[in-house]
Amino acid sequence: MLGLIGVVLSLALLIYFAYKGYSIILLAPVTALVAGIFAGAPLMAMYTQVFMPAMGGFLITYFPLFLLGALFGKLMNDSGSAYSIARFIVERVGAKHAVLAVVTACGILAYGGVTVFVVVFAIWPIARELFQEAGIPKRFAPAAIGLGSFSFAMTAIPGTPQIQNAIPAPYFQTDAFAAPGLGLIAGAIMYVGGVLYLNRRVAAAQAKGEGYDNGALMQGEQTTGIGQEDEVTVPTTTPFWVAMLPIVLVITLNFLLVRYIFDLFDFSYLAEEKFKATSIDKVGGIWAIIISLLVACLLVLALNWNRLRERKKLLNQGASSSFLPIMNTASEVGYGAVIAALPAFAIIRDGAFGVSSNPAVSLAVSTNIVAGITGSASGGLSIAMNAFGAEYAAKAAEAGIDPEFMHRVASLAAGGFDALPHNGAVITVLAVTGLTHRQSYKDIGVVCVLIPIVALAVVLALGSAVGSF
């Protein structure tokens, strides 16, 4: 019981200090050791033999995805491509449908491989302009950006190159296009449900006379964010078709690689010990995303060679910008590994396994719990897969459950409780827009936690009833 209290206290401290703006890189090992103290674990051994290997293992496996994602986002942003795509959508949808425009623009960028943090910075200047023009309360902007950036486009839409869709692949020997029909249904629930909810909330606020920056929730708090007009430089726009080509390439090449191109080559050498005795079925999903993002980065450079004049500086900045996100996530993975190594975690694990005899339902519950503990979709999913992945794959095989269904469930489950208040993306979008949890988190919670959980439940019911499709 004391160990379980330590885990709860550790999580509470992690959430509280993350909410206060302290670095996860510092918080993760410290709060993990708090849980270790209550469990009576040897602290230095837990740090050097559990925390650091787990953190390092995540870095080794997923650093290329973070690096190329950050580079791609930087190139799309500085070339004006991200702005051009957003502006194209806005001009056709109109200011009166500002919520729909912002969500759609964010979704396209995220589905194309632009990292969540880059999407937030790229879209906010346009969202601010739209919301002001339409008289929509500013406090709804974080939820609109979050809905488009870290819900359906991150976990549901088949083929998304976001890391949350890549992590399950080696465990279930699947790829990013696993269970496409179920993924599209889940994505539609999140997209349509989220937009309808936000539009109703906006209409109710406007009916009460609330405008862009007035209303009870906007009084008495600092609302100057990173995205104020004098702090944002709108990039030179590029033609829409030029802006869209790299995104189309990422999705198309990813699909062709995993479904056709890899089949043309002999990868039997991967069974050798020097290649960790693996197979193309286990690494192909990640390889395809790496190759697709790399080729897309080269295409952005080629199409915008004259627009991107300071190329060395841009590439260096893009590479550097990958370090903080992956270090934050890897630190959360290390934190989760320590928690998973404590006796109290067995209670949590057994509780998750005992929820249902259906391994898909059990997987959904356990992944959501771990993602909620870490406040990270990728970190939580990585921990859950390391802890339970092989066992769930075996249970699914015994039950005759399609591994593609398990892949989609795992990815969707990572995008539920991860968006609790201590989530890094939530904190970032609030900081950029200059808003607080009190002003905006309720709506973020509905569109990024509650509705995705509903979508996951629908997929579980459908997949369990009729199978994967």
CB 415 within 8 A of CB 164: yes
User: Could you tell me the residue range of the domain that residue 354 belongs to?
Assistant: 1-466
Report the residue count for the chain: 469
Looking at residue 227, its pLDDT comes to: 41
Q: CA-CA distance, 284 to 85, in Å (whole number)?
A: 30
Looking at residue 236, its pLDDT comes to: 57
Element (H, E) at 117: helix 116-134
Instruction: Please tell me whether residue 239 adopts helix, strand or coil conformation.
Output: coil
Looking at residue 237, its pLDDT comes to: 66
Rounded to two decimals, the pTM is: 0.81
Q: CA-CA distance, 25 to 162, in Å (whole number)?
A: 22
Q: CA-CA distance, 174 to 159, in Å (whole number)?
A: 11
Structure tokens at 347: 């209670």
Please state the separation of Cα 418 from the chain's center in Å. Answer: 9
Instruction: Please tell me whether residue 172 adopts helix, strand or coil conformation.
Output: helix
Query: Hey, what's the torsion of the CAs at 191, 196, 197, 202, to 10 degrees?
Result: 120
Residue 29 φ/ψ, nearest 5 degrees: -65, -35
Structure tokens at 108: 């396209």
**In Å, how far are 137, 239, 241 from 130, measured between CA atoms?**
11, 21, 23
- Name the residue with tokens 């900081």: 431
In sequence order, the 6+-apart residues with CB closer than 8 A to the CB of 138 are 128, 131, 212, 213, 218, 223, 433, 435
Which one-letter amino acid corresponds to residue 262? F
Structure tokens at 184: 């599209």
Neighbours of 150 (CB within 10 A): 30
Looking at residue 380, its pLDDT comes to: 85
Instruction: Please tell me whether residue 22 adopts helix, strand or coil conformation.
Output: coil
Per-position pLDDT tens, the chain of length 469: 788 899 889 989 987 887 776 788 899 899 999 999 999 999 999 999 999 998 998 899 888 988 898 888 888 888 888 888 878 887 888 777 899 999 999 999 899 887 777 788 778 877 887 898 889 999 999 999 999 999 999 999 999 999 899 999 999 999 999 999 999 999 999 999 999 999 999 999 999 999 988 876 776 554 445 444 434 444 556 888 888 999 899 989 989 998 899 999 999 999 999 998 999 988 888 899 899 999 999 999 999 988 888 889 889 988 888 887 788 878 888 888 898 889 888 787 777 767 778 999 999 999 998 888 878 898 889 888 988 889 999 999 999 999 999 999 999 999 999 998 878 788 878 877 888 888 899 999 999 999 999 999 999 999 999 999 9
In sequence order, the 6+-apart residues with CB closer than 8 A to the CB of 213 are 137, 138, 223
- Name the residue with tokens 């201590």: 422
In sequence order, the 6+-apart residues with CB closer than 8 A to the CB of 27 are 13, 14, 17, 18, 331
Query: Hey, what's the torsion of the CAs at 169, 171, 173, 176, to 10 degrees?
Result: -10
Closest to 142 (Cα-Cα) out of 457, 428, 453: 428
In sequence order, the 6+-apart residues with CB closer than 8 A to the CB of 409 are 360, 363, 364, 456, 459, 460, 463
Task: State the total domains in the chain.
Answer: 1
